[in-house]
């Protein structure tokens, strides 16, 4: 590694980024992780993780991420807080410019920027964020003890959050735009059996309303079948309608699908030397364990690419892919 050009820079510090860091650090590549807006990623805003192998009684999300970070650091990963504002992938070494103006150059780049919660796009939503509107039940549920809340969405996240909130709130209303849930059967069964959870089917949120102090006190709902509008009295509205990959930074430089996910072959992007791992390139599985697996793959590929050079690497990768 020369003084000013790094071998590996990893953007993002969730399971994908930290696993890539662990592997590249152990390969003596002295990786640098730029931690981003939410160091540790989405698992830092969750509670118990029950599907991370090896923890039969579960592990707390923030603890798991702190352990992953410590492990990566132990093997020589450097960390930098801050956001990458610009990247130039048109020539190598690649150039990254941070929000503080600092410029970093690297031979390879591993993109592990993850995904962020989607919003409904209502004018009230942003204004009332933190005043009753939230995208994270495990972060904010505590504030709604013994108060009525609504959850918007019909996927696993919405139902998981509804179940979590049912332990705190006085009542939880799930507002879903269709009349069937997308969530897994086991989650649905739990929610249907929970007396503190009710459902508003075929319903969209038109607006979130607030009292004179500016705190949420209701949601204006429209039945999509009948067009009837009414206001549900709730103190909190949790939006759980999925996630958007954090790829704006790479627009015009890395190939993306219509949802904004980076298009990869394995973990290779369309730019040689740039790899992507985790929620940023995975619209299907989106699990901590699959992200970590992809982070491992990106690290191994980056190491191979540095060692073999582009032509040899592609020859090898093509051979592996067709094996
Ligand atoms: P999903 O994309 O699975 O579900 C999003 C939900 O929000 C859908 O019901 C969708 O409605 C609804 N929705 C989307 N956009 C809007 C909108 N503009 N207005 C109103 N409703 C909207 O996202 P999740 O975050 O729930 O899950 C993502 C992935 O993570 C999935 O693969 C899921 O299985 C997984 N996951 C697994 C968990 C577990 O196993 N414990 C926990 C949480 C997530 P519609 O159904 O009509 O499209």
Residue of 67, 88, 99, 139 marked catalytic: 139
Our answer to whether residue 136 is catalytic in this structure is yes
- Looking at residue 139, its pLDDT comes to 78
∠ CA 295-299-304, nearest 5°, is 150
Question: Ligand 1 centre and the CA of 107: distance in Å?
Answer: 37
Mean pLDDT of 122-150: 91
- Looking at residue 311, its pLDDT comes to 79
DSSP output for 221-262: EEETTT--EEEE--SEEEE-S-EEES-GGGTTTS-B-TTSPB
Residue 79: CB atoms within 10 A of its CB come to 17
- Looking at residue 3, its pLDDT comes to 54
Mean pLDDT: which of 39-48, 194-203, 314-323 is highest? 194-203
Mean pLDDT of 125-141: 89
Question: pLDDT: is 134 or 50 the higher one?
Answer: 134
∠ CA 177-178-179, nearest 5°, is 135
C-beta of 155 in contact with ligand 1 (< 6 A): yes
Domains identified in the chain and CATH numbers: 5-116+243-322 (3.50.50.60), 123-239 (3.50.50.60)
C-beta of 286 in contact with ligand 1 (< 6 A): yes
Write the pLDDT tens digit of every residue in 259-294.
999 999 999 999 999 999 999 999 888 889 999 999
Residue nearest to atom 38 of ligand 1 (CA): 156
- Looking at residue 317, its pLDDT comes to 61
C-beta of 6 in contact with ligand 1 (< 6 A): no
> What CA–CA distances, in Å, run from 108 to 179, 267, 321?
47, 13, 21
Write the pLDDT tens digit of every residue in 65-86.
999 999 999 999 999 999 999 9
| Coil, strand or helix at 57 | coil
| pLDDT above 70: percentage of residues in the chain | 96
CA 51 – CA 185 distance, rounded (Å): 17
Question: Ligand 1 centre and the CA of 305: distance in Å?
Answer: 36
Judged against a pLDDT cut of 70, whether residue 96 lies above it is answered with yes
C-beta of 157 in contact with ligand 1 (< 6 A): yes
Mean pLDDT of 178-203: 97
Mean pLDDT of 165-175: 98
Backbone angles phi, psi at 123, to 5 degrees: -60, -35
- When the pLDDT of each residue in the chain is averaged and rounded to a whole number, the result is 93
Residue nearest to atom 13 of ligand 1 (CA): 241
C-beta of 136 in contact with ligand 1 (< 6 A): no
Question: Ligand 1 centre and the CA of 311: distance in Å?
Answer: 40
Question: Helix/strand/coil (H, E, C) string of 130-152?
Answer: CCCEECCHHHHHHHHCCCEEEEE
Residue of 140, 235, 279, 301 marked catalytic: 140
From 50, 117, 156, 244, the mutation candidate for ligand 1 (largest count of ligand atoms within 8 A of CB) is: 156
Question: Ligand 1 centre and the CA of 241: distance in Å?
Answer: 5
Judged against a pLDDT cut of 60, whether residue 156 lies above it is answered with yes
The pLDDT-based confidence of 258 (bands split at 50, 70, 90) is: very high
- Looking at residue 204, its pLDDT comes to 98
CA 205 – CA 73 distance, rounded (Å): 45
Our answer to whether residue 140 is catalytic in this structure is yes
- Looking at residue 2, its pLDDT comes to 45
Mean pLDDT of 113-129: 92
Residue 319: CB atoms within 10 A of its CB come to 9
- Looking at residue 296, its pLDDT comes to 98
Judged against a pLDDT cut of 80, whether residue 248 lies above it is answered with yes
From 45, 153, 205, the mutation candidate for ligand 1 (largest count of ligand atoms within 8 A of CB) is: 153
Judged against a pLDDT cut of 70, whether residue 321 lies above it is answered with no
Instruction: Look at residues 215, 236, 229, 219 and name the one whose alpha carbon lies nearest to residue 162.
Output: 236
C-beta of 167 in contact with ligand 1 (< 6 A): no
Residue nearest to atom 36 of ligand 1 (CA): 156
């Amino acid at each position: 590694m020369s003084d000013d050009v790094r071998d590996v820079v990893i953007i993002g510090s969730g399971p994908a980024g930290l696993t890539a860091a662990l592997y590249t650090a152990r390969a003596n590549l002295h990786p640098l992780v730029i931690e981003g807006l939410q160091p540790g990623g989405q698992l830092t805003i969750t509670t118990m993780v029950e599907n991370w192998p090896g923890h039969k009684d579960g592990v707390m999300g923030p603890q798991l991420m702190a352990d992953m970070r410590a492990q990566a650091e132990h093997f020589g990963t450097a960390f930098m807080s801050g956001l990458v504002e610009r990247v130039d992938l048109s020539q190598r070494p690649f150039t990254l410019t941070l929000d503080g103006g600092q410029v970093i150059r690297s031979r390879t780049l591993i993109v592990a920027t993850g995904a962020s919660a989607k919003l409904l796009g209502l004018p009230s939503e942003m204004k009332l964020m933190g005043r009753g509107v939230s995208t994270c039940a495990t972060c904010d549920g505590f504030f709604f003890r013994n108060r009525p809340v609504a959850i918007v969405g019909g996927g696993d996240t919405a139902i998981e959050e509804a179940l979590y909130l049912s332990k705190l709130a006085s009542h939880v209303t799930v507002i879903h735009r269709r009349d069937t849930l997308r969530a897994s059967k086991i989650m649905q069964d739990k929610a249907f059996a929970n007396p503190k959870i009710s459902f508003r089917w075929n319903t969209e949120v038109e607006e979130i309303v607030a009292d004179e102090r500016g705190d949420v006190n209701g949601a204006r709902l429209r039945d999509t079948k009948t067009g009837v509008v009414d206001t549900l009295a709730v103190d909190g509205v949790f939006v759980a309608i999925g996630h958007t990959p954090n790829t704006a930074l790479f627009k015009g430089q890395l190939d993306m699908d219509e949802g904004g996910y980076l298009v990869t072959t394995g973990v290779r992007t369309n730019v040689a030397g740039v790899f992507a791992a985790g929620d940023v390139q995975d619209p299907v599985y989106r699990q901590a364990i699959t992200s970590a697996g992809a982070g491992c793959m990106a690290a191994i590929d980056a190491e191979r690419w540095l060692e073999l050079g582009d032509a040899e690497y592609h020859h090898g990768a093509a051979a592996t892919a067709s094996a």
